[in-house]
């Protein structure tokens, strides 16, 4: 992949490796928050049979969270999928790099939008294209 000239100097591999645990934590917390919200939405759904409500043990298992995520619709599910993908990229060492042009995305930008896959320039380009299609 060809890389555009970076807007700013990317940290060294060592520096980025040191950032991985921090972003892993940010992403896990985002996901936990979404799952908690989803849980609330589902349990408030009056069509849900009382027997279907999870007990504490269910809530503690990853399997349950998995099936819960599967039952989610719309925005929350979409966001959780994005977080899963971001965690995968983080483990693969691809997280800090734009999936479109390969440029360094930037730590500040990733802190603000932990699931982003694009550098700011590609994001702006994408938004311009979307606006062009929409009009």
- How far is it, in rounded angstroms, from Cα 77 to Cα 85? 12
Would you say 61 or 126 has its CB closer to Zn ion? 126
Residue 10 interacting with Zn ion (CB under 5 A):
no
Closest distance of CB 81 from Zn ion, Å: 21
CA 30 vs CA 57, 90, 107, 121: distances in Å: 22, 15, 17, 25
Neighbours of 114 (CB within 10 A): 19
Does residue 110 interact with Zn ion by CB under 5 A?
A: no
User: H helices within 45-119, ranges in order?
Assistant: 56-60, 62-71, 74-92, 107-112
By CB under 5 A, tell whether 105 contacts Zn ion.
no
| Nearest distance from C-beta of residue 116 to Zn ion, angstroms | 10
Of 93, 109, 118, 83, residue with least CA distance to 16: 93
- CB of residue 5 to Zn ion, shortest distance in Å: 11
Q: Is there binding between residue 87 and Zn ion (CB under 5 A)?
A: no
Nearer to Zn ion, 58 or 127 (CB): 127
**Which one, 65 or 117, has the nearer CB to Zn ion?**
117
Q: Which residues bind Zn ion (CB under 5 A)?
A: 98, 100-101, 103, 119, 122
């Amino acid at each position: 992949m060809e890389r555009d000239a970076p807007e700013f100097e990317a940290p060294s591999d060592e520096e980025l490796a040191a950032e991985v645990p921090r972003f892993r934590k940010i992403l896990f917390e985002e996901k936990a928050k979404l799952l908690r919200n989803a849980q609330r939405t589902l349990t408030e759904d009056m069509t849900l049979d009382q027997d279907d409500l999870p007990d504490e043990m269910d809530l503690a298992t990853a399997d349950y969270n998995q099936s819960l995520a599967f039952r989610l619709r719309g925005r929350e599910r979409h966001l959780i999928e994005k977080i899963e993908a971001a965690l995968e990229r983080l483990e693969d060492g691809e997280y800090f790099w734009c999936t479109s042009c390969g440029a360094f995305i930037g730590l500040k930008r990733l802190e603000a939008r932990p699931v982003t896959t694009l550098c700011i320039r590609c994001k702006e380009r994408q938004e311009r294209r979307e606006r062009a299609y929409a009009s």
